[in-house]
Structure 1
Amino acid sequence: MSVPDLIPYHFVTTDINHWYVVIKQGRIEKAKEMKRKVENEFNKMEKNEKVAVYLQLLKLRHEIMLSYLEPDSVKDIDSVFEGLKETRENLAPESLTNTIEFYFHFFTGMYHFRTRDLVIALTYYREAERYLDLLDENANTDKAEFYFKVSEVYYYMKETHFSMNYAQRAYAIFKRQKDDKGNLTYGKEMVHCQFVIFGNWLDKMCYEEALETAEKALKDAVKIGEQHLIGSAHFNVGLCYNHLEELDNAEKHFQIAYEIHKAQKHIYESKAVFNLAYVKAKQNDLQAALKLYEEGKKIAERHNNQEVAEKLKLVKGLYLSFDLQTLREVFEFFREKNLYGDMEEYAVAVADFLTNKEKRHDAVDFYQLAIEARKQIQRGKHLNEKM
């Protein structure tokens, strides 16, 4: 190809930016179309190191999007990540712009968050935050997305104050984004922020505020009309009723969430089936719980969701086969993954169950696990670890 036939790199950059927009919007088919277009253009483009690394960055972000919205189509996310690292390492120092460094650390954090390697994810997010104020002044939605992702990590670490703060900052930015007619342009993202805020109210045991936030998010999700968003909203309402021990209401909303996510083969299908199985077991409907447990194992394996695979063992070890060794394996997993919030919540549940069964000696072990988890959360030890 002669030099005059080469596509100017700024044309490709424009399409890369468009690709990123549709990725953030979760428009799967349009994102796939833009990916094909950009890759084709890149092969005909004049050489440019920055565009090369932007392309690799967006490939990873594309795969991360698919891992949530269309997980069965994700085949090579690990190789895409390795390719990004190699491209960045070979980049000339003068080409490592603030924007590239922000996206690299931000997307790498997202890559590790999806496998619940929370400490690693947070470490990369912290590095990304160093570049946040150096971005273009028009990068408000990038900042909002970043704040939201950080709020998720802190939520899973049960750092409630930090999580709530970041989620509210993200919500405020998204709420200001409107089209020419004054309509909200980031309604879905606002609902996602409400989900995190709801979860933090729940962790603070402020159940009235939690239920109010969850039900508002459900109404907003119904207005938007996206099924996976509606399913997630029902799931959160179910969580609230579960904590209120209103098991029939919890079951109803978990069942709706499970049916919606199952139909779409969404990654949250695995979370829904675990919680539905857990509630069924608590209702002493062990036949239904066993069926859901078996379904859940297959779903967790299909989604490569180790967290849910381990949590399903709670249903088995506590209700279906009463196996304390299986339960202890689950809590060792929580400890290894720094999931101290889950460790505390389920340790108390197991200990209370054992106490009611007059197995007080075994119950003490699990109460001690809950105390250990609470100490870890209060000390913030897991936030100070290094990669």
Structure 2
Amino acid sequence: MGKVLSSHVGMKINEWYRMIRQFSVPDAEILKAEVEAEIERMEEDQHLLIYYQLMCFRHQIMLDYIHPSKYQPFSVSNLVDKIENSNHELSDMLHYYHAFFRGMYEFSQKEYLEAVKYYRVAEKQLSMVFDDIEQAEFHFKVAEAYYIMKQTHVSMHHILKALEIYDQHDAYSIRIIQCLFVISGNYQDLKRKDRALPHLKKAKQLASQIDHPRIYSSALYNLGKCYGELGYREEAERYLTESADLARKEDLPTLPHTLYTLAKLLFRQNEQSHALHILEDGKLAAKKHEDQLFCHMFDYLDALYVQEINEKQLQKTIDYLEKLSLYSYIEDISLEIATALEASQQYQKSNQYYQKLLWAQNQIQEGECLYEF
């Protein structure tokens, strides 16, 4: 049997990547197997072998997003080591893919500053990317990271670019839904929750038309969170509960976050018994999914609402968030702690947390200047 042309395998990897971007797991798995069979008979091409390794990396990120506990044939970190320890110099496009995919991996690990660092490296090669869907992918992932970091206007700039491209193509409904999540989240951060709600209703309607439990659970979660911030407590509790039930049924890693938001809503409504039940459920879920962030966030809820302001534990949570540069979380909980202390007439301590809130806001603003020049 003769050698397979590397150009032929390269075209098949491109098609494989197209299926990955569409979250089409069966098609992606088939193409991955075909590529692996052909690589065994392929003429020597080191660039293409690195492209294949990068695509394995991206393939695993897709699988981890859809259902982490189901698809874990090997460690993504091992793939990272294998690619980065290669002595072969990367071409511009491979350099782009390496930085972009590494940014996605760091984001999945909640290392948001690291993710942005790699995205900025990828951005330097973006002029080499002529595929408009790949351009949209880049803008979406950058917008997602900046949204988490509360760099609202930067996030909105990128997400609208991404959505404009996705809207022109069929088969990208999941990304369109995710764009709507980010747009609505940015509107909520801009204190325009009224403008956020229509996007979330549209996202839920689109999510109900596809077979993707994680996306539908996220649509329910985002609606519930928004209704809670608008003061519609019954609607908020209903959607958050539905989201948590689906996440539990499908064993989704989003469960701890959903239970955290639901528990906080219930504590604020003085539904102590129900809130305590959700809090304990959330602690177990965070441990099961090895979610260190929400292990700390549940400890925070316990310290604030159950232990009636355990300042030592509250400070431990803030120290953890500072270590990860999660200033948006520090901003939110500092306000909650300050308000609780003020309500108990501990004005001096309350003022300390208001100062912490202002410090966190300043860190967020400083984060808007991430340029090296």
The TM-score with structure 2 as length reference comes to: 0.93
Look up the match of 1:207.
193
The aligned length equals 370
CA distance in 2 between counterparts of 1:278 and 1:261 reads: 18
Look up the match of 2:166.
174
Larger relative contact order (Cα-Cα within 8 Å, sequence gap ≥ 6): 1
CA distance in 1 between counterparts of 2:36 and 2:299 reads: 43
The answer to whether the 8 Å contact 1:214/1:233 transfers is: yes
Cα-to-partner distance string for 1:287-328 (whole Å, 9 max, x where unaligned): 332332232223223333222222112221111223221111
| Aligned residue among 48, 52, 60 for 1:51 | 48
Q: What is the CA distance between 1:382 and its match in structure 2?
A: 7.6
Q: CA RMSD in A?
A: 2.0
CA distance in 1 between counterparts of 2:316 and 2:112 reads: 20
Spell out the pairing of 1:157-196 with structure 2 (5 A cutoff): 157-177=149-169, 184-196=170-182
| Aligned residue among 328, 336, 343 for 1:356 | 343
Spell out the pairing of 1:1-387 with structure 2 (5 A cutoff): 5-72=2-69, 73-74=71-72, 75-87=74-86, 90-91=87-88, 93=89, 96-135=90-129, 137=130, 139-177=131-169, 184-322=170-308, 323-380=310-367, 383=370
The TM-score with structure 1 as length reference comes to: 0.90
Q: Structure 1 regions of 5+ residues with no counterpart?
A: 178-183
Provide the secondary structure at the position in 1 that maps to 2:345. coil
CA distance in 2 between counterparts of 1:132 and 1:13 reads: 20
The answer to whether the 8 Å contact 2:51/2:94 transfers is: yes
Q: What is the CA distance between 1:143 and its match in structure 2?
A: 0.4
Q: Structure 2 regions of 5+ residues with no counterpart?
A: none
Provide the secondary structure at the position in 1 that maps to 2:171. coil
Q: What is the CA distance between 1:372 and its match in structure 2?
A: 0.5
Provide the secondary structure at the position in 2 that maps to 1:205. coil
Provide the secondary structure at the position in 1 that maps to 2:85. helix
Q: What is the CA distance between 1:191 and its match in structure 2?
A: 1.1
- The percent identity for this pair of structures is 30
My pick for the range that moved more, 348-357 or 278-287, is 278-287
The answer to whether the 8 Å contact 1:338/1:382 transfers is: no
Q: Which amino acid aligns with 1:80?
A: L
Q: What is the CA distance between 1:355 and its match in structure 2?
A: 1.5
CA distance in 2 between counterparts of 1:79 and 1:288 reads: 42
Q: What is the CA distance between 1:42 and its match in structure 2?
A: 1.8
